[in-house]
Amino acid sequence: MAESLLKVSGVSKHFGGFTALSDVSLEIAAGERFGLIGPNGSGKTTLINCISGLLRNDGGSIRFQGENISALPAYQRTRRGIARSFQVPRPFHTMSVLENLLVPSAYVAHMKDTEGEAQAMDILGSMGLAAKAGLHANQLSQVELRKLELARAMAAKPKLLISDEAMAGLSGAEVDEVLAILFKLNEAGITIIMIEHIMQAVMRFSQRVVCLDAGKIICEGTPASIVQNADVQKAYLGA
Amino acid sequence: MKFWLPAVVIVLAAAGVAVSRINEYFFFAAFVVLTYVVLATAWNILGGYAGYVNFGTSAFFGVGAYTAVVLFKWLGAPLAVQIAAGAAMGALLGFGVGMLTLRLRGIFFAIATVAVIFIMETLMINWRYVGGATGLQLLRPEAMAPFGSYTRMLFLVMTVMAVAAVALARYVQTSWIGRGLRAIRDSEEAAEASGVPTLRLKLVACVLSGALMGAAGAPMPMYLSFIEPASTFSLNYAIGALAAPMIGGTTHWLGPVVGALLLVTIQQIVTVTISSEINVLVVGVLLVLFVVLAPDGILGFFKRWLRASSR
């Protein structure tokens, strides 16, 4: 088998005496659509914080394209091709929507502003945000902010995009909109990890799903097999 | 060109004024105003662009001043060397403070920087060589021709320093560094995730800011012919350096300049015409007024006004 794009081996993370992740291992192949689910507090966001570098894992290793990136600061990982969106949108609120995208294009792709702007308008266009390019980030609606998160991540030209609950709190039609964007990005060759509470969205999107509970992987498989799994049902429903 | 032409004109005009027959007091007051232009500009690189509020300007200023005194007493170093050394020590202290940003943000960072003032002041109080708590009288050298007095020369030197500081701040703001610092101010996590080396940029901002503050402090002992810890590490420098950008506007290099010119000129006038106690009150009143009525400073106020009237 070819080297996987991302290989997480035996990763653990403690906050004081609390174990947020214990011995988590997973592999993601290039081009895959991967779903990460689990009840609140199960360690999903901690895991992707470890992958994207905002947190350092205590044990185990994280390899991206064969390179051990466990010790790299977050910005280095972004430059190697791991981009993420934030669960609670964190736009650069004093900048325009367009300028938000110029930050990664300048710092990751080392583009001149003219190049960066052209790329940014392409990305914004593909997400239906082109008309908002000149607005300040704090003038956007919720769904637009979620799209901006994804757009800014895309401006870093990632190989792997981690979407952290990009759809939480959105209406049905808006969920479909964001899903369509993610499908389109995947078709363009970007590997996607989707963290989501909206089951119907994860199940439609993912080729493979992993369920975390209390910092451990309790189940891995196709969306159809996951929903049938007794441990998953127990983790979610407590029955 | 839009920047450098006025900059050169300002320096030449200052040189002309310095050799003219204008009353000596003008130079005495203008030196203080210009010192604050440098301090406010320096403060804004870290506080305005990156959003890290430094309450410890006095520490940097004082370290620059004492560095100058040590070099003067030890080697009789000329003013240019004193200023360069003051900048170097300020940069060094800036690097240390920059490392604090690793762990401290917001109000905690601000409090830590206040502590730096007290540490530095205590060190100087207990250092005999520079006069300890009683201070040190300094015999300043003869004024160079064509300047009629040392204060006139210091006025021109400080004008050049102010222009240099503003040029540096302008470069930081408009270069790739500036966008990264703004990203840090808006959200440090998102900046890091967007490929911005946040620690390195914060260190750059702290070092540049510290160097300028140290440089601003270096000529002060020669200006006063005296140095003493309590007034050198006075909190007034920290407050003025922070208030001026708040009043002028923190997002543009022009903000601290406008703020410092306005605030400190009013203070100087009040000191002479009313009392030197009231001048501290002026800072407080203006700061409150601006925070409430024009939170984006004078520049922000005019920008909004222009936008509204163009509609």
Q: What is the mean pLDDT of residues A229-235?
A: 83
Beta bridge partners of A14: A19
Picking from A160, A206, A151, A164, the residue whose alpha carbon sits closest to that of residue A183 is A206
As a whole number, mean pLDDT of residues B187-192 equals: 94
CB atoms under 10 Å from CB of A115, counted, come to 14
Answer yes or no: is pLDDT of B263 > 70. Answer: yes
Structural domain contains residue A121: no
Whole-number mean pLDDT of chain B? Answer: 92
Measured at the alpha carbon of residue B185, what is the angle toward residues B184 and B186, in degrees to the nearest 5? 90
**Neighbour count for residue B106 (Cβ, 10 Å):** 10
pLDDT reported for residue B52: 93
Contact status of A55 with chain B (Cβ, < 8 Å)? no
Nearest CA in chain A to B178: A103
Between residues B88 and A39, which one has the greater pLDDT?
B88
Q: Do B182 and A95 touch (CB under 8 A)?
A: yes
B186 φ, ψ to 5°? Answer: -75, -45
Tell me how close the Cα of A50 comes to any Cα of chain B, in angstroms.
12
How close is the nearest chain A Cα to the Cα of B177, in Å?
A: 10
Domain boundary assignment for chain B: 4-309
B249-274 mean pLDDT: 91
ipTM score of complex: 0.89
> What's the whole-number mean pLDDT along residues B199-222?
96
Per-residue pLDDT, averaged over B262-284, amounts to 87
Q: Which pLDDT value is given to residue B18?
A: 86
What pLDDT score was predicted for residue B306?
A: 80
Residue A102 lies in a domain: no
Answer yes or no: is pLDDT of B32 > 90.
yes
Mark yes or no for CB contact B182/A79 under 8 Å. no
What the block records as the tokens of B72 is 């003067």
Contact B251 A94 (CB under 8 A): yes
Mutate: best of A54, A77, A90, partner B, most B CBs <10 A: A90
Domain membership flag for residue A153: no
Tell me whether residues A78 and B195 touch, CB distance under 8 A: yes
pLDDT tens string B249-258:
998 999 999 9
pLDDT band, residue B235 (cuts 50/70/90): very high
Average pLDDT over residues B138-158: 87
Rounded to the nearest 5 degrees, what angle is found at the Cα of A222, between the Cα atoms of A217 and A226?
55
Residue B168's Cβ-side half-sphere holds a number of Cα atoms within 13 Å equal to 25
pLDDT exceeds 70 at position A110: yes
Handedness of CA B45, B46, B49, B53 (dihedral sign): negative
Residue A162 belongs to what domain range?
A: 6-93+158-237
Interface-testing mutation among A75, A79, A113, A164, with chain B (most B C-beta atoms within 10 A): A75
Three-state helix/strand/coil letters over chain A: CCCCCEEEEEEEEEECCEEEEEEEEEEECCCCEEEEECCCCCCHHHHHHHHHCCCCCCEEEEEECCEECCCCCHHHHHHHCEEECCCCCCCCCCCEHHHHHHHHHHHCCCCCHHHHHHHHHHHHHHCCCHHHCCCEHHHCCHHHHHHHHHHHHHHCCCCEEEEECCCCCCCHHHHHHHHHHHHHHHHCCCEEEEECCCHHHHHHHCCEEEEEECCEEEEEECHHHHHHCHHHHHHHHCC
Residues of A in contact with B196 (CB under 8 A): 75, 103, 107
- pLDDT at position A236 is 79
From the list B176, B187, B198, the residue facing A106 with the nearest CB is B176
- Cβ-defined contact of B193 to A83 (cutoff 8 Å): yes
- Contact check, Cβ <8 Å, A104/B194: yes
Predicted local confidence at residue A1, as pLDDT: 45
Whether A170 is in a domain gets the answer yes
Q: What is the CATH number of domain B4-309?
A: 1.10.3470
**Any chain B CB within 8 A of the CB of A90?**
yes
Query: Shortest CA distance to A164 belongs to which of A155, A92, A152?
Result: A152
In terms of C-beta distances under 8 Å and separation of at least 24 residues, what long-range contacts does A188-191 make, across chains too? A189/A31, A190/A158, A190/A159, A190/A160, A190/A161, A191/A5, A191/A6, A191/A28, A191/A29, A191/A30, A191/A31, A191/A32, A191/A33, A191/A34, A191/A159, A191/A160, A191/A161
Residue A152 falls inside a structural domain: no
Query: Other C-beta atoms within 10 Å of A238: how many?
Result: 7
Query: Which is more confident, B297 or B160?
Result: B160
Q: If you search the block for the tokens 């709190």, which residue do you land on?
A: A169
Q: What is the pLDDT at residue B95?
A: 96
> Is B182 part of the contact surface with chain A (CB cutoff 8 Å)?
yes
Cβ separation B193–A74 shorter than 8 A? yes
Does B182 sit within 8 Å of A92, measured CB to CB?
yes
- The length of chain B is 311
Classify residue A107: in a domain, yes or no.
no
pLDDT tens-digit readout, A141-196: 988 999 999 999 999 999 999 999 888 888 888 899 899 999 999 999 999 999 98
Looking at residue B1, what is its pLDDT? 59
**Which residues have a Cβ under 8 Å from the Cβ of A124 and sit 6 or more positions away?**
A97, A98, A101, A130, A132, A133, A151
Express each pLDDT in B42-80 by its tens digit.
999 999 999 999 999 999 999 999 999 999 999 988 999
What does the pLDDT average to over B266-275? 88
> Residue A239's pLDDT is what?
57
CATH number at residue A11: 3.40.50.300
Residues A56-90: pLDDT tens digits? Answer: 999 899 999 999 999 999 999 999 999 999 989 99
Residue with the bigger pLDDT between A230 and B177: it is B177
Residue A211 pLDDT more than 80? yes
Radius of gyration of chain B (CA): 19
Residue A200 lies in a domain: yes
pLDDT at B211 over 80: yes
**pLDDT tens-digit readout, B95-129:** 999 998 778 888 899 999 999 999 999 999 999 99
pLDDT band at B302 (very low <50, low <70, confident <90, very high): confident
pLDDT value of residue B311 = 58
Q: Give the number of domains in chain A.
A: 1
Given a contact cutoff of 8 angstroms between Cβ atoms, the answer to whether B49 and B209 are in contact is no
- Interface contact flag, B190 A90, Cβ < 8 Å: yes
Q: How far apart are the first and last CA of chain B?
A: 31
Q: Which residues of A touch B198 (CB under 8 A)?
A: 75
- The number of angstroms, rounded, from the C-alpha of A231 to the middle of its chain's C-alpha atoms is 25
CB contact under 8 A, A54 and B193: yes
